[in-house]
Amino acid sequence: MLSTPAEPARNLPFRDGNAGFSLTLKRNCSISPAGLAGVYVALAVAVVGIGGAFALAGAWLVLPFAGLEVLLLAAAYLAYARHAADYERIVVESGRLTVEVAEAQRVARYEMEARRAKVYLEAGKRVMLRGADEELELGRHLDEQARVEFAAELQRRLRF
């Protein structure tokens, strides 16, 4: 059981009150995009500096590879920064279930009647939410054990 009055949920940040139930699931980011940008700039300066030193010493072929390395690091940084703020917000309030999914710079919002929504685990790895018109995958930012707990808790919350 994830959340009882005496014991709060271990890994999932539930907000539970008189108004309803709310849960926001986010990626576990160990460094902010701004912090990673600083690391990227430091690495880029070091790589180009070392490549430039080798080019001055006569090994000019090192410099194009240093430039390629900087470009690949930039691509990795952009991919990370684009998804660093992804989240899923689930709100059950007044008999309505609202799911907001933010991926990259897109935000999608889904609403359905809470009592008619069904939660199930697909192959024990994916939490699926089925409404009258659509099916959504939830809990993508959780590990396998937390997904199982999340599915059980969400199913329990939808029945009340």
Q: Tokens 């539930």 — which residue?
A: 14
pLDDT at site 7: 36
Q: How confident is the model at residue 51 (pLDDT cuts 50, 70, 90)?
A: very high
113 with 96: CB under 8 angstroms? yes
Question: Across the strands, what pairs with 112?
Answer: 97
0.85 exceeded by the pTM?
no
Architecture of domain 14-27+85-158: Roll (2.30)
**pLDDT tens column, 104-129:** 889 999 998 888 888 988 876 889 99
CA 155 – CA 160 distance, rounded (Å): 9
Q: Is 60 exceeded by the pLDDT of residue 12?
A: no
pLDDT at site 2: 37
In the numeric block, which tokens belong to residue 52? Answer: 């430039």
pLDDT at site 18: 44
20 with 8: CB under 8 angstroms? no
Please name the residues in contact with 5: beta carbons below 8 A apart, sequence gap of 6 or more.
none
Domain boundaries along the sequence of the chain: 14-27+85-158, 33-83
